[in-house]
Structure 1
Amino acid sequence: MYIYWKYSINEYGTKDIPALIEKIHQVKTAELRLSKPDIEEESNDDQLYKLCAICHSLGGASMLMYVVTRRLKSKPHRLSRLVLLSPAGFHHDSSLLFSAVEHVLFFLGPILSRIFPAFYVPTRFFRMLVNKLARDLQHLPAVGGLVQTLVAYVAGGDSSNWVGVLGLPHYNMNDMPGVSFGVALHLAQMKRTRRFRMFDYGSAYNMKIYGSPEPLDLGEHYGLIDIPVDLVAGQRDTVIRSSMVKRHYKLMKDAGVDVSYNEFEYAHLDFTFSHREELLSYVMSSLLFVKPNSKKHQRTPRSRGKGQASVRG
């Protein structure tokens, strides 16, 4: 069980996402060749379709890690555009409670990671209890409101519908979301260093993994991003504050990335659970303007693209 949960955000960006996108590439390419037998063979620099990624929170940080590390390895990332909704990566502007959690993770990490390898509900019986509690909260407004207030306080005052999230289908007796201790520690490292970096294993192991005693700083390599990026922040988001999304924007802008920045009056979970028309319109309009594939990663003006696919994170 401990080995299963032994991962950080590194594995999201360098293993999970590459496997997902390569599978999409295989399937999409096969479909296009079946529908158009006379289509020309794909070259190393071009592909037969356009793929856009829409990511939220931790998914945004993972996707940025994916793009940067693929470019460092001179491998195709196969993406045409990124739409990042309140992306993680920078966290030094956060609540006092998050700062307290950061210190606990650093000082007690070696002990806690052995006892609690992940934050999850371990057995079917306890998942059933959590599921029952979630359904009860939906039917008891007073109690549900109290829980909503407590969770919002823990999340730094964020007003997202936390109780409503517990009622979603993936919270059930057979399966529930979980996150490894390594991911939490990775976020704490980013918060402490005030930088968007890959996981810090310690100088000795860092030399083996990254070739330097310090982990790879992804923000310093934003100049490698060769596709348009749309950054979106929430004015009422206290989990990842707008100032932290602006940090991504400034680094990208300074590195010459084709990047835009927008804000909505949203809390953290509103981006994925509210389904508000203004956000849907913004995302869809962004997907209509996709940079055409180009050789050697040359920047070209935006143009309307067809045959698009999207990845949600």
Structure 2
Amino acid sequence: MTSKANVVFNVLLVFVTIVLGNVLKLRFRPINNEITRSLRYQRDSLLNFTESRELYGYSSEEHNVLTEDGYILTIFRINGRNCAHKLKRTPVLLMHGFLQSSDTWLDAGPKAGLAYLISDACFDLWVGNDRGNYYSRRHNRLDPDKDPKFWKFSVDEIGFYDIPATLEYILKYTKEDKLNYIGYSQGAGTFFVMCSERPGYCAKANVFIGLAPATRLTNTKSVPFKILIEGLGHLEEDLATIGIYELFAKGSLSQEFLSLLCKFSATSELLCGTGVSLVDSFHQGSITNETLRVLFDHFPAGTSVHNIARYGQSIRSSHFQKFDYGSAQNFNIYGTKQPPHYNLSAVTVPSVVLYGNNDNLVDTKDILWLIKRLPNMLEIKRVSDPLWNHFDSAYSQFTKDLIFPTINKYLLKYSRK
């Protein structure tokens, strides 16, 4: 029988391979669909967002959002089954977390994926994508494969440009004055950046629902996450000298290798499930083997080295603050030697926060630190399952019972037919 030590060693070996593959930016031709079918891949893992929705009888629309600084973001509007004449008019925007994409909300399948659950409740659901992931790797002037400037962004720019542009597009398209916002991890933190930096935009939301919202990460327990993020963050300038500005892109050698490894039931739970537990925390049976076999074809979805460096700073700082360029450059950019703190008191929208007691990425201490600074809290809910961790909010098979009722309650309260 394989010992626990051997399993951990194998997972760490895979982890190192993933890092090296991304840092070296090695790419190869993705395995074609004929081969993947012969290998009995999960059908969902071969599909993009629109194809996944259609597979289960849902319809969707694809929209392009242009930000003020020229990034082109792909977002999706989803129609629930049997909702043709029952659609609630207040739109809902669902935003993914760090290194994710809109596909995150489909990977757990129709019985648990939040995109399915929300749209089946007949809400007008829109699902966003941040700059730099594989759905939003475009710009009206810059070529992401040739122009380093494309990758000079972090959560600071995502919050300042992407979230406001997405809100504006949805409200203009639907002819509504306000929407309801659900942000997971980074998707919550970037909403707070917007509220702090863009006066008036926070008032465009009726309600904010935060799932494990990420601001500062001072108390993060995950050793692999700390090592990876802080290590790569310190290497930002070194990586730039050899032309590396993007990491964890879909199609990189490591992403394709991880996708292949996790496709097979014999390895997906043993290695990929254990890997998820090592990065976050252990919660046996919460993320099913079927979901593991799908999600690693969509995760990681790619981001900038600069954004990864920003997360490294979040671990080292006790504040929710802008990018720290060093005292001299800070003074040139901000007018102060220290990076300014984001003004969380500007998040005046009625707010709901759901979090898990077993989250090793966004620790409960950092959640409670945040909650004390939000001025208009409606509800603070710790998920009843004591093992609920960070990845559970996106991928758990128990989402429908443990977090969707709270989400549904507040979406109903702030929606109209």
User: TM-score per shorter chain, which class?
Assistant: 0.7 to 0.9
1:10 aligns with 2:156: yes
Written as runs of structure 1 = structure 2, the 5 A alignment for 1:257-276 is 257-264=376-383, 265=385, 266-274=388-396, 275-276=399-400
CA distance in 1, matches of 2:231, 2:382: 32
Cα distance, 1:144–1:181 mapped onto 2, change above 3 Å: same
Are 2:405 and 1:306 aligned? no
User: Is the 1:50–1:80 Cα contact (8 Å) retained in structure 2?
Assistant: yes
Aligned with 2:302 (options 168, 178, 186): 178
Name which structure has the greater RCO, CA cutoff 8 Å, separation 6+. 1
- Asked if structure 1 preserves the Cα contact closer than 8 Å seen for 2:214 and 2:362, the reply is yes
- Residue 270 of structure 2: aligned partner: 145
Unmatched segments (≥5 aa) in structure 2: 1-144
Cross-structure match for 1:167: 293
Q: 5 Å matches for 1:125-140?
A: 128-136=256-264, 139-140=265-266
- Structure 1 counterpart of 2:178, from 43, 50, 71: 50
Residues 237-256 of structure 1 correspond to what in structure 2 (within 5 A)?
A: 237-252=359-374, 256=375
Inter-partner Cα distance in structure 1 for 2:201 and 2:335:
19
Residue 285 to residue 188, structure 1, CA distance change in 2 (3 Å): same
SS of aligned partner of 1:89: coil
Asked if residue 289 in structure 1 is aligned to residue 377 in structure 2, the reply is no
CA RMSD in angstroms, aligned pairs only: 3.0
Are the equivalent residues in 2 in contact too, given 1:50–1:306 (CA < 8 A)?
no
Q: Contact between 2:247 and 2:303, CA under 8 Å: does it hold in 1?
A: yes
Report the CA distance between 1:53 and its aligned residue: 0.5
Contact 1:57–1:87 (Cα < 8 Å) also in 2:
yes
Q: How many Å apart are 1:67 and its aligned residue? A: 1.5
Q: Aligned pair count? A: 263
SS of the residue corresponding to residue 236 of structure 1 reads coil
How far apart are residue 124 of structure 1 and its match? 7.0
Output the CA distance in 1 between the equivalents of 2:401 and 2:409: 12
- Structure 1 partner of 2:316: 192
Q: Could you say if the C-alpha distance between residues 183 and 204 of structure 1 is closer, same or farther in structure 2, counting changes exceeding 3 Å?
A: same
Aligned twin of 2:404 = 280
Tell whether the 8 Å contact from 2:184 to 2:213 is kept in structure 1 after alignment.
Answer: yes
In the alignment, the residues of structure 1 paired with residue 156 and residue 277 of structure 2 have an alpha-carbon distance, to the nearest angstrom, of 28
Does the Cα contact within 8 Å between 1:228 and 1:258 map onto a contact in 2? Answer: yes
Q: How much does 1:206 deviate? A: 3.1
Query: Which whole-Å deviations, capped at 9, do the CAs of 1:9-36 have from their partners, x for residues lacking one?
Result: 112101111111111121111xxxxxxx
Partner of 2:403, secondary structure, is helix
Q: What are the residue-to-residue correspondences of 1:57-206 with 2, within 5 Å?
A: 57-71=185-199, 77-95=203-221, 96-101=223-228, 103-105=230-232, 107-115=234-242, 116-121=244-249, 123=251, 128-136=256-264, 139-140=265-266, 144-155=269-280, 161=287, 167-168=293-294, 171=297, 177-206=301-330
Structure 2 CA distance for partners of 1:67 and 1:170, relative to 1, 3 Å: farther
The change in CA–CA distance for 1:164 and 1:61 in structure 2 (over 3 A counts) is farther
3-state SS of 2:169 partner: helix
Identity of aligned residues (%): 22
Q: Which amino acid aligns with 1:8?
A: S
In terms of fraction of residues, the more helix-rich structure is: 1
User: Aligned in 2, Cα 1:154/1:271: closer, same or farther, shift over 3 Å?
Assistant: closer
